[in-house]
Amino acid sequence: MADGPPRTTVSAWRPPVAGIAEVFHAHFTDYAYPSHTHDTWALMILSDGAVDFACDRHRHGVTGTGTVVLLPPGVAHDGRTVTATGFRKRVLYLDATVLPEDLTGRAVDAPVFGDALLRHRIHQLHTSLGRAGNAHAGDTHAGDVFEAESRLAFIRERLHFHLDALRPTRTPGREAHRLAAALRDLLDSRLATGLSLHEAAAVLHAHPTHMIRCFKQTYGLPPHAYLTGKRIEWARGLLLEGKRAAEVAATVGFHDQAHLNRHFTRHVGTTPARYAAM
């Protein structure tokens, strides 16, 4: 299904495979998504084209089909097209049963792997997920799901091979990290209702601007952008469960469906209704 700029396509689904929260395929020709975070690991390969992205405020470029990108949970990242032809990407969103969050620090400084074997295994998994994704309709054998689970196990092993060789090199100041973590917990607890900056500052006994600086130093984006990104991630899950866009908007804390549409399109590249339909 096409929408947005010419030749832009997006498809997403939740496969019946433990550990994979979402499969996301997209072709973007002229697109830049804002800095945001995920609760999951984002494992990406390109089918063609080039993409420029930042992870924790450090920019990276990926071209062609020879590399793998792994973006850790809770770390701010963005992305944008580089050429007129854009890029085609395939992404697996993996939960903590595949990779534990305590490996996040190791992935921050080196999110790009030049590993042909890993890239090939991920390609094979996407192929099997295309079949396993139909299992909900009852027209796919359990063997296709088992194949996908087996391929995921080998990918997990290979990712651990890379991450075990890495060490985190940068940590935020202890005081800044504590305040940022407290604000993040507060935002997470108020996703649906939200809160004002001054209310957050009063709860945490911190000056508003100091609190914002600490949060951005720790997580790489301001608190309001983090909150919006979390709401979009929540909305994606509800849409994949079959909820209507208007219902989702109210559930996740947007003023109305138009408010959800605006932010969702910026983050995902398509409207909530089209995302759900695909």
- Residue 42: the pLDDT is 97
Give strand pairing partners of 12: 24
Which residue did the predictor score with more confidence, 8 or 216?
Answer: 216
Whether pLDDT at 270 is above 80: yes
71 in helix, strand or coil?
strand
Whether pLDDT at 169 is above 70: no
Q: Of the candidates 188, 175, 241, 249, which has an alpha carbon nearest to the alpha carbon of residue 214?
A: 175
- Residue 172: the pLDDT is 57
- For 2, which DSSP code? B
pLDDT tens figures, 217-251: 888 888 999 999 999 999 999 999 999 999 999 99
pLDDT tens figures, 92-137: 999 999 999 889 888 888 899 999 999 999 999 999 898 655 544 4
- Residue 142: the pLDDT is 57
For residue 124, give both structure tokens: 């094979």
Which residue did the predictor score with more confidence, 145 or 144?
Answer: 145
- The mean per-residue pLDDT over the stretch 2-25 comes to 82
Whether pLDDT at 6 is above 80: no
Distance CA 53, CA 226 (A): 17
- Residue 65: the pLDDT is 87
- Among 120-124, 136-140, 172-176, 265-269, the minimum mean pLDDT is found in 136-140
Whether pLDDT at 195 is above 60: yes
Q: Of the candidates 137, 72, 83, which has an alpha carbon nearest to the alpha carbon of residue 111?
A: 72
Across the chain, mean pLDDT equals 88
